[in-house]
Amino acid sequence: MPSYSTPYEIHVHGDVPLRPEVDVAAVQDALKPLWRYAGARSLGEGAVSLYEEEPGLRFDAAAHKLQMCWTVRGDDDFRQVLDELCMNLNDLSASGAQIEVTFYDAEFDDEDEGSGQEARDDFVMLFVGPDPAAIMQAQRDLLVHDVVNMMERHFDASQLGGVVAEIDKLFSDRFNDLVSSLDLGRPPRGGNGHGGGGGRRPRHLH
């Protein structure tokens, strides 16, 4: 369990659409890397954020959605739980989604800022989804949103169709390359091999 002298306050934020059959037990198991890191014995205990105004870790069964707005004290070792978290959520997700993880330097104060020192803040963007195509779709949607918002300061939205088309082409090429790389690991069709048909699919793409 992280101590109160840990150097970061770590905020996890994101909404993940879940498959209709996912229940609270599956969600508790998927989020175990988070609530166990917080020193809790269950999701019910660990779902509460460090800050009361944040909703924490919430499973909306009616909407089939996991909502995360949760802060915990921690250290750089928190990064080790993120891979496991993403793998777990891939297995429950209905479509691609982004998860933002922000490390706030808890030891940085006004005196440090006044002396010209910089905070050790860090930011990690993760993507989860049921398959690589869904993950890439979430990445594509975020990039289009960011690029269009930036360029609308200078151009009308109706002029940006070509930019969006180029982004789509880039992601299409990336997906085709991924499919080709996975195909290389599969035995020829009609072969007598008893292998598993290639390596494991990527669990998440940063």
pTM over 0.85: no
User: 116 and 17: one domain?
Assistant: yes
pLDDT at res. 170: 86
User: 72 and 35: one domain?
Assistant: yes
Residue 204 lies in a domain: no
pLDDT at res. 192: 42
User: 15 and 65: one domain?
Assistant: yes
Residue by residue, pLDDT tens for the chain (206 residues) are 444 567 999 999 999 999 999 999 999 999 999 999 999 999 999 999 999 999 999 999 999 999 999 999 999 999 999 999 999 999 999 999 999 999 999 887 655 555 556 778 999 999 999 999 999 999 999 999 889 999 999 999 888 899 889 888 888 888 888 777 766 555 554 444 433 333 333 334 44
Q: DSSP E strands: which ranges in the chain? A: 8-17, 56-60, 65-74, 97-105, 122-128
Residue 198 lies in a domain: no
Residue 23 lies in a domain: yes
User: 63 and 159: one domain?
Assistant: no
Angstrom distance (rounded) from CA 185 to CA 196: 9
Burial class (CB in 10 A: 0-12, 13-18, 19+), 197: exposed
Distances (CA, A) of 92 to 21, 63, 70, 81, 97: 9, 14, 19, 17, 12
Query: What CATH number did the domain enclosing 71 receive?
Result: 3.30.70
User: 34 and 111: one domain?
Assistant: yes
User: 117 and 168: one domain?
Assistant: no
Domains: count for the chain: 2
pLDDT at res. 174: 82
Domain of residue 93: give its range: 8-129
- Number of residues that this document lists for the chain: 206
